[in-house]
Amino acid sequence: MEVSNIYAVILAGGSGTRLWPLSRELHPKQLMKIEGDYTLFQSAFIRLVNSVDDKNILSVTNVKLESQVKTQLVEMQAKFCRKSNYRVITEPECRGTAPAIALSIKYIEKLQKDKNIKEDPIIIAVPSDNLISDDEQFAAAIKEAVKLAQDNYIVTFGVKPDRADTGLGYIKTKNNKKIKDVSSCALKVDTFIEKPDKETAQEFVDSDKYYWNSGMFVFKASVMMAELKKYEPDIFNIIKNAEISSQTPTIPYLDFKEMPDISIDYAVMENSKKLAMVPLECDWRDVGSWEAIYAISDKDENGNYVMGNVIDLDSKNSMVYSTSKLITTIGLNNVVVVETEDALLVCDRDRTQDVKKIVNHLKERHDETQMTHKTVYRPWGYYTVLNEGKGYLTKCIYVNPGAKLSVQLHHHRSEHWVVVEGKALVLKGEEYFELNNGDSIDLAVEEKHSLQNPYDEPLKILEVQKGDILDENDIVRFEDMYGRV
Amino acid sequence: MEVSNIYAVILAGGSGTRLWPLSRELHPKQLMKIEGDYTLFQSAFIRLVNSVDDKNILSVTNVKLESQVKTQLVEMQAKFCRKSNYRVITEPECRGTAPAIALSIKYIEKLQKDKNIKEDPIIIAVPSDNLISDDEQFAAAIKEAVKLAQDNYIVTFGVKPDRADTGLGYIKTKNNKKIKDVSSCALKVDTFIEKPDKETAQEFVDSDKYYWNSGMFVFKASVMMAELKKYEPDIFNIIKNAEISSQTPTIPYLDFKEMPDISIDYAVMENSKKLAMVPLECDWRDVGSWEAIYAISDKDENGNYVMGNVIDLDSKNSMVYSTSKLITTIGLNNVVVVETEDALLVCDRDRTQDVKKIVNHLKERHDETQMTHKTVYRPWGYYTVLNEGKGYLTKCIYVNPGAKLSVQLHHHRSEHWVVVEGKALVLKGEEYFELNNGDSIDLAVEEKHSLQNPYDEPLKILEVQKGDILDENDIVRFEDMYGRV
């Protein structure tokens, strides 16, 4: 499709709180592989390539996730598209979807202006955390929605509910009445209803008027801005007055500070009179909670879904998910167990929405297990903390072929490296050393160094840090191929 | 008490299967601290010091646990006794309590003979995995039992049950009738009943005739041997014909091979006509299962017992035990969660007896998590496996002050050490190196080496092993202060 005024924005700034401990603030669910070969974010991208010129697919996220989102986009670019310069719009802080959409509109309008295009852009805004099985049906629904958006509708996509999910929003149609003539399947919208309680959700499922709100929207830029002006003027004013660069698209922190933390559903959808709903006929799944993951999983004859190294005796209707250690379960009923290297969740299946409360509690006590995994992703690869003790810390560091860590020094720690896989090129002071598998090297406090992998194979080293202060912030960078100096 | 023909034997060979994953075949529950400053085994020792000359306190265990049992005895010796040479009798393989008791009798008879003492020894055999709160009451009961044993009774100790425990054996008294005149509180025994089902156990609790079998016995050596001859002649014959050394008391593996695997309860107690039961009036607790641990624990107002780094939301009647990582629980009811560095158990509280089945399953599939922890105890200290990968393995090694590892080499791996706490003396080839905190050293394949800590502070090193075969058995020892060459 070569209509250059159609844009897609993937909303990738969420923190996936309810999927803790697998999802973390700095490595949230949309950047994880839940099903298949691609992350949820990448799957959202692949789906859009059928409907939108790949040059016009953008993503909006917060500054902390920017480098991971870029890395995942670059992988997709290499596989599915002609070379394009994909743009990631960043928010200085996490807010809801309303500021994210407003910021995207502002940036797209700027792009159009820079290219001297007068047409009002049509924007497809999609979440980055859905599973959708049928790409053709999805593309057909998008096509229908774009037509309606051109007629100034704000188009939502509704999914027929098959269970009383209390973690989703619902759309009530006007008695399933069509919005136009028989050539469109779009329905009139009565109201948007946020996450209901169990009983209400069941009533919605039993009625035929209600749909799940899939969180995807298609609209004309000017129409959405007008609705924001009307219903959420703070967002409108901040965005209108802010300067945004087209090269590194973001908004200054000071402008963003006063931005309300609100979803587009609350800000616009619950108020707007311009809504239409296209029924989404394909298999759509939100993976917002462990209960939702359980719902979409392949279960055994006892209703159990099991992943990883698990031995079970007589459990039923339960989910057991191991990422590292052996989990044994006996006689459980309706329980979710999720294990990661540093944290464990054991939760009644009817209470998976409350995982959010646990995460909020962890935030309050500044517990790192809310923020990061033991494995932390970096532009050059990733590292895993193996062990910490008084005065030392050990890590396993994985460096991608062709990647290098910045030239750096530390004021408070010495480092000691052993190559356990591949080969390393190490800058120590002013001299380069080639280290083979099994070789080791010592780097003193204040000594300038850099770990590099100019070879074709992945490099894995074990690092022992020694010092009184062992902190990721104790790093002075001199050169960095990822612009982090 | 200086009556030299009274002996105590602590039965310390059990594998504590039902307390997996905390208890492992090579580090079972009796060697762990469950409550207070001492291990269960050490507490059993301390209790006996009041009743028996400390020279006459022995322990019987299997060969795999011998060095740990000795280490724990040495600690007790330093604290509670005049210098004595405590003897640990070892079985070549794990069998039930009947062979262990028979072997102990044989050894004690040999001791008496060597010292030219003619008197028939009285033996107090106690498990190493009970919690007993009142040492005075315990000593009084032992005193009473010794008197009865001198009159040729085999004396058991019964505890009034306060719940329908299906993990314990029961003693049925003859309508609570006393065995002797009013000066003794001992009762006549009708039958021994092995672990009953829930319903039967409840009947026992409701009746006043039944007591828990505490697993402690007092008897004259000759009386017990006569009963073994009568009811379990295989054990009697093997023990009678075996040679046992008084220096390193064990029985040759070939003799032991045919030994039946049977408890003293099944072998003798269920058949003998010579039984008496002394009611044990103090707070006695078996810690045989997680349910038993839950029963003795201090619970909060919701009936939860929580240990370690745990955050709970609305759970009740549950037990959550963390040894390493953060555990979060939501809305659990009647669930036991036990976490160790390499394994996790999540179990309905009514099913904790079935942990044994899980362990048997692990045994069948030769899973190491049944046998050892990531932390493995050695005579010189202990080590923890931090991380394993293709061709490498990392360990944290703790060496006690004054201890040294054997002089050794490995055919298939190089080793790389970094000192992270204390100081090390390292033999590398024929040369000694003193390594300070932060120093490192490389040891090549086939290079003779030894790690030693002749200093006053504990030593901690991080080891990276590199090689195609990384196996604890790839070790050639030249010298060893613990006799392992």
Domain boundaries, chain A: 6-288, 291-356, 375-479
Alpha-carbon span B200 to B191, nearest angstrom: 15
Q: Residues A376, A65: contact at Cβ < 8 Å?
A: no
Q: Which residue of A has its CA nearest to B345?
A: A328
Interface touch B311/A361, C-beta < 8 Å: yes
Interface touch A358/B331, C-beta < 8 Å: no
Interface touch B21/A391, C-beta < 8 Å: no
Q: Average pLDDT for residues A308-336, to the nearest whole number?
A: 96
Tokens describing residue B417: 């050490």
Q: Which residue of A has its CA nearest to B414?
A: A438
Interface touch B367/A326, C-beta < 8 Å: yes
H or E element at residue A367? none
Q: Which residue from B332, B341, B466 is facing A346, i.e. has the nearest CB?
A: B332
- B388 vs A341, A467, B20, B26, CA distance in Å? 14, 25, 23, 21
Q: What is the CATH T-level fold of the domain B6-288, as seen in this structure?
A: Spore Coat Polysaccharide Biosynthesis Protein SpsA; Chain A (3.90.550)
At residue A423 the predicted structure's pLDDT band, cuts being 50, 70 and 90, is very high
pLDDT of residue A454 exceeding 60, the answer is yes
pLDDT of residue A78 exceeding 80, the answer is no
- In chain A, what residues touch B354 (CB-CB under 8 Å)? 313, 330-331
Alpha-carbon span A399 to A424, nearest angstrom: 9
Residue A473, pLDDT score: 86
Interface touch B343/A331, C-beta < 8 Å: no
Interface touch B325/A333, C-beta < 8 Å: no
Q: Average pLDDT for residues A403-416, to the nearest whole number?
A: 92
- In chain A, what residues touch B444 (CB-CB under 8 Å)? none
Place of tokens 């080499």: B409
- In chain B, what residues touch A311 (CB-CB under 8 Å)? 358, 361-362
Residue B114, pLDDT score: 85
Q: Average pLDDT for residues B150-175, to the nearest whole number?
A: 92
Tokens describing residue B437: 């905190």
Q: Which residue from B327, B391, B416 is facing A346, i.e. has the nearest CB?
A: B327
pLDDT of residue B485 exceeding 90, the answer is no
Q: Residues A435, A463: contact at Cβ < 8 Å?
A: no
How is A72-125 classified by DSSP, letter by letter?
Answer: HHHHHHHHHSSS----EEEESS---HHHHHHHHHHHHHHHHHHTT--SPPEEEE
At residue A215 the predicted structure's pLDDT band, cuts being 50, 70 and 90, is very high
Q: Which residue from B335, B343, B391 is facing A326, i.e. has the nearest CB?
A: B343
Residue A182, pLDDT score: 62
Interface predicted TM-score (ipTM):
0.81
Q: Which is nearest to B256 in space by CA: B275, B271, B274, B241? A: B241
- In chain A, what residues touch B320 (CB-CB under 8 Å)? 346
- B254 vs A329, B13, B93, B241, B259, CA distance in Å? 40, 19, 11, 12, 10
Q: Which residue from A313, A420, A442 is facing B358, i.e. has the nearest CB?
A: A313
Interface touch B335/A332, C-beta < 8 Å: yes
A375-479 — its CATH code?
A: 2.60.120.10
Side by side, the strands of the sheet bearing A392-399 are A375-378, A381-389, A392-399, A459-467, A413-421, A440-443
State the count of interchain CB pairs (< 8 A) between A and B. Answer: 175
Alpha-carbon span A464 to A34, nearest angstrom: 33
Phi, psi angle pair for A276, to nearest 5°: -135, 155
pLDDT one-digit tens code per residue, B425-477: 999 999 999 999 888 898 999 999 999 999 988 899 999 998 888 888 899 98
**Average pLDDT for chain A:** 90
- In chain B, what residues touch A414 (CB-CB under 8 Å)? 438
Percentage above 70 pLDDT, chain B: 97
Residue A2, pLDDT score: 45
Place of tokens 């990738």: A12
Interface touch A328/B358, C-beta < 8 Å: yes
- In chain A, what residues touch B346 (CB-CB under 8 Å)? 320, 327-330, 332, 335, 337, 346
pLDDT one-digit tens code per residue, B357-389: 999 999 898 887 888 878 888 888 889 888 888
Interface touch A329/B346, C-beta < 8 Å: yes
**How, if at all, do strands B122-127 and B210-220 pair?**
antiparallel
pLDDT of residue B210 exceeding 90, the answer is yes
pLDDT of residue A1 exceeding 70, the answer is no
Q: How many CB atoms lie within 10 A of CB A76?
A: 21
Q: Average pLDDT for residues A374-401, to the nearest whole number?
A: 86
Shortest Cα distance, chain A CAs vs residue B114, angstroms: 51
Interface touch B325/A342, C-beta < 8 Å: yes
Q: Which residue of B has its CA nearest to A445?
A: B438
Interface touch B442/A442, C-beta < 8 Å: no
More confident residue, A370 or A144: A144
Q: Average pLDDT for residues B236-255, to the nearest whole number?
A: 82
pLDDT of residue A55 exceeding 60, the answer is yes
Residue B85, pLDDT score: 66
pLDDT one-digit tens code per residue, B406-424: 999 999 999 999 898 899 9
Alpha-carbon span A295 to B345, nearest angstrom: 24
pLDDT one-digit tens code per residue, B21-74: 999 888 899 998 887 889 999 999 999 988 898 889 999 999 889 888 888 887
pLDDT of residue B187 exceeding 90, the answer is yes
- In chain B, what residues touch A351 (CB-CB under 8 Å)? 313-314, 330-331
Residues in chain A: 485
Interface touch B330/A466, C-beta < 8 Å: no
Shortest Cα distance, chain A CAs vs residue B365, angstroms: 11
